[in-house]
A and B are shown apart, each in its own frame.
Chain A
Amino acid sequence: MRRVRWGWVLVAAIPALFIGYFFVYPLVRILSLGLSELDIRSSGVEARLLKVGWFTLWQASVSTALTLLVAAPMTWAVSNFEFRGRRLATALVTVPFVLPTVVVGTAFVALGWRDSIVAILAAHVFFNVAVVVRTVGTLWSRLDPNLHDAARVLGASEWKVFRTVTLPLLRPAIAAAASIVFLFTFTSFGVVLILGGFQFATLEVEIYRQAVDLFDLPLAAVLAMVQLAGVTGALYAYSRFQERHTATWALRSDQDRVRPVGARRFLAIGSVTVTLIALAIPLAVLVGRSLGTDSYRGLLESDRVTGIPIASVGNSMLFAVIAMLLATSIGLMAAAVITGREGGLARWFDLTLMLPLGTSAVTIGFGFIVALGWPVDLRASFWLIPIAHALVAVPFVVRSTVPTLRSIPGEIREAAAVLGASPGRVWREIDLPVVARAALVGAGFAFVVSLGEFGATSFIARPNTATVPVMIFRLLSRPGPASFGMAMALSVVLAAVTAGVVMWIDRARAGEIGRF
């Protein structure tokens, strides 16, 4: 009596085909290209590989350690104490995290720190402080204060309590935050490409150079394989930490922070202020330097090499709108399958759709060049850029809509069916209106992701389809203070647009109603 529901098959097939053709298939092509290469010349590659691999690994480790250290004082302050401006401070610390990597890179160029390892590490810390403050802070603010007090009564000093009680309890969150920061810095592309000069290259940057500048695709494929192995390792470690993250017994339900007094008040407010000022400096310098020498007017003038720089804003907007529409519709279909009743398929979907999030954008862009000549040559297509952006953005849409869809009680859908709604009609009348706002938030994320995407776009953008990040990079690559100024001006424009959309998302989320 079980019939095939063709509607469902279609809804499941579209996201599956999308991910299959634009993600899995290119990845397989990269793997086969890399494996065949390993046979042909195993000796010459090794030295280069070792150098780049080692640099990638150690800069990611050092960046992660530094980020944890720098973020610690502010995390301590905002999770333990209540003071005026605490919420604002937590919101402000997130600003660098949502900025496009190219903007972050340009901000450090504005500081005059180009071509140095210090610049790369500083930019990574700048970008990732929010990850630690948010991830560790959430757990820390919910630790039962009685545990601390109990240890004090038992004779432990403050420092001893921190080392023997607080730190062990925070370990899962610290490990999770460290895994995320490591993943981000291990796959760092835009920042390293801009700040590293010719001296420093991560695997990501080296893949780009080998593929785009030197056109050694097989070597790039080998590098991409090493990269994938590293990313898989980091993701595996992360999921292991997530599994062990079950310290619920030590949590309090409500966050009753205390107002700090005396020396603590000084330390708490001081550490927050210093952190925020340090994070503000690169951005302030970027804005300041963009204001000089008619940079903004320069954006409007045509140039033989780059065209009219401001035209890239039009390209970016167009691509972002298409990518947003693609990602939202495919993400919604995927979310429908994930929350639908078919268990095995749903879990498989959930996992597969998250993969593009973990894979580096450069690998995605590189995969497009390697693989998408078949069955029709899409490599010169206008659609390639929005498709790449949508691929990166789909996980965001899925993540924002699945919880809302899961919150709809099954009985509601059954009631609609009993009243005469066909399965498709149930989706339209019940799921869609309820999930609309969450989908809008997901769409906003997709838009922001597309605006700032650089790794994949740098492979597939053509001279006349440069997006804003690609244009900024081109301007930075040219000598002369005029191009520098224009790169900074364009960065400020991109940062402003991104910040505007993120603020809108934040408000939309705050007012999210219609959840059950």
Chain B
Amino acid sequence: MLSTEQLGVRLDNKVILHDTDLTVADEEIVAVLGPSGSGKTTLLRAIAGLVPVARGDIKWDGVSVVDIPVHQRGFGLMFQGFALFPHLDVAGNVGFGLRMTGTDPDLVGTEVSAALDWVGLGGFENRRIDDLSGGERQRVALARTLAPRPKLVMLDEPLGSLDRHLRERLVVDTRALLTGRKVTGLVVTHDREEAVLLSDRLALMREGTIVQTGTLEEILAHPADAWVTDFLA
């Protein structure tokens, strides 16, 4: 279980996050929904360990992870622009995390094939990143994030850079994959529909903090303030 307690982040002397409380139960998927610039990406980056925490704490199963460096934290993060390694092929990308943890090379091969099968890209091992379409890149990025089986999977606008037609199809696939693999997940998006389809529970974010959590129905039934009603309308 992930929990952030009174989490605060400052970058260049500006408060980006403050008093952020959020929990994600095991095998639960929470979507952080908010307008752009509300601090959603910074929240993921802080949990991943990419930006330093100024105040508060981040805990996994009740134990603080703040002092563990990024590469030892064991959380997965899929970047908004996918950040695929252009000098490696598809297999090189998907197997990267497994190689970093010292997995046996033969096993890496099988695991990579399995991960590519999950996202429907079986046989894509030797493709170059440059030759992939936008939708294929999204799925390679997803496979790369899932392959090392991280404790927590974080997705930053997982469908944000794709066109509408593709998004509608992939949002269903992505949700099915995450649920099927019993993933504990945190998804960031600015799209209400996407948030609802991808997650079990929403966390609404505004100006650097979480203002309300719950399912869409719960929030609509008892909105915390007028902004929440407006935003979800």
Contacts and interface: CB of A to CB of B under 8 A. Distances in A.
Interface of A: 1-2, 409, 411-412, 414-423, 425, 429-430, 433-434, 514, 516
Interface string B61-80: 00000110111101111010
Contacts of A514: 86-87
Most A Cβ at <10 Å: residue of B48, B69, B83: B83
A123 B217 CA distance: 85
Contact of A415 (B66, B79, B101): B79
Given A430-B85, A433-B87, A417 B96 contact: no
Contacts of A429: 96
Contacts of A422: 69, 71
Given A421-B71, A516-B86, A414 B96 contact: no
Given A412-B85, A430-B85, A514-B86, A417 B71 contact: yes
Contacts of B144: 419
A409 B80 CA distance: 13
26 contacts: A1-B52, A1-B53, A2-B52, A411-B81, A411-B83, A412-B83, A414-B70, A415-B84, A417-B71, A418-B48, A418-B50, A418-B70, A418-B71, A418-B75, A420-B71, A420-B74, A420-B100, A420-B101, A422-B69, A423-B71, A425-B71, A425-B100, A430-B85, A434-B86, A514-B86, A516-B86
Categorize the interface residue count of chain B: 20 to 34
Given A420-B148, A422-B71, A414 B79 contact: yes
B97 interface: yes
B72 A420 contact: yes
A242 B53 CA distance: 41
Given A417-B70, A419-B144, A420-B71, 6 more contacts: A414-B70, A414-B79, A417-B71, A419-B97, A420-B101, A425-B100
Nearest to A5: B69
Interface class of chain A by DSSP: helix
B96 A419 contact: yes
Contacts, number: 66
A420 B149 CA distance: 12
Contact of B96 (A2, A411, A416, A516): A416
A411 B66 CA distance: 21
A419 B100 contact: yes
Nearest to B95: A419
B119 to A, nearest CB: 16
A430 B67 CA distance: 25
Contacts of B52: 1-2
Given A1-B66, A412-B83, A433-B87, A418 B96 contact: no
Nearest to A3: B69
Query: What are the 8 tightest A-B residue pairs by CB atom distance, in nearest-first order?
Result: A420-B100, A419-B97, A415-B83, A411-B83, A417-B70, A418-B77, A433-B87, A421-B100
Contacts of B81: 409, 411
A434 B66 contact: no
Most B Cβ at <10 Å: residue of A1, A415, A429: A415
Contacts of B70: 414, 417-418
Contacts of B83: 409, 411-412, 414-415
A283 to B, nearest CB: 41
Contacts of B97: 419-420
A515 to B, nearest CB: 9
Interface in B178-230: none
B67 A1 contact: yes
A415 B87 CA distance: 14
Interface in B118-152: 144, 148
A2 B67 CA distance: 9
B50 A417 contact: yes
